[in-house]
Amino acid sequence: MKLLYSLTSPYARKVRIVAAEKRIAIDLQVVVLADPDCPVFLHNPLGKIPVLIMDDGESLYDSSVIVDYLDQRTPVSHLIPQDSKSKFQVKRWESLADGVCDAGVAVMVEQRRPENLQDPNWIKKQWNKVDLGLKALDEDLGSNKFCVGETFSLADIALVCVLGYLDLRFDYKVDLENRYPNLARLNASLASRPSIAETLPPKA
């Protein structure tokens, strides 16, 4: 199996962390989306990463499908719980964390346009989604040790990925420590976990 990814993609990071946690070996191929010869469109008509190319040439996307697939490949250390109540709680965390990422990506894309073409209302609307999403996650987490239940799961992974992305692109302009202290606490407590430390996006 081969993963097309970039070092800064939070969605691809989620897949890399899951693969590491599950001890599933995957060939990693960095792609540059702006490159006209980028192979992603050959495997995903949407041209987005991550894409997992299977040994038979079939491809899987998007990240939530890939992590579900990887989690089911081995019965050990499930990151998506088996019982349906916890499973859908975890999936909701993933959806919300990914949705906050989507809003953050939208801000970044808009801010890369020439300043006179940027739409401040659009940026404000996306920041509002970031804020409301993080607020909901922070309240949901409360003083719990993990996002869902008593064990580390895909919900924690999705959280770490969105927070890492916000730090990378906006240097925590969101003021994580003061505005979302529960998320800040969990993020700090997971930072040294090898799968998380080894996939930290490069700041340079």
Q: Of 185, 177, 164, which is closest to residue 101 (Cα–Cα)?
A: 164
C-alpha closest to that of 193 among 167, 168, 172, 164: 164
Identify which range of 61-69, 111-119, 129-137, 178-186 contacts ligand GSH by CB under 6 A. 61-69
Asked if 63 interacts with ligand GSH (CB under 6 A), we say yes
The tokens describing 164, both together, are 């890492």
Report which residue type is found at 24: I
Q: Write each residue from 22 to 41 as x if it is in contact with ligand GSH (CB under 6 A), else as -, in one continuous string.
A: -----------x--------
List the one residue from 47, 73, 128, 139 that touches ligand GSH (CB under 6 A): 47
Task: Note whether 11 binds ligand GSH by CB under 6 A.
Answer: yes
**Segment contacting ligand GSH by CB under 6 A, of 62-70, 83-91, 147-155, 167-175:** 62-70
Residue 126 binds to ligand GSH (criterion: CB under 6 A): no
Could you tell me how many residues of this chain bind ligand GSH (CB under 6 A)? 11
Closest CB to ligand GSH among residues 33, 197: 33
Contact between 54 and ligand GSH per CB under 6 A: no
The answer to whether 198 and 20 have CB atoms below 8 angstroms apart is yes
Of residues 33 and 188, the one with the C-beta less far from ligand GSH: 33
Asked if 5 interacts with ligand GSH (CB under 6 A), we say no
Residues lying near ligand GSH in the complex (CB under 6 A)? 9, 11, 33, 47-50, 62-64, 98
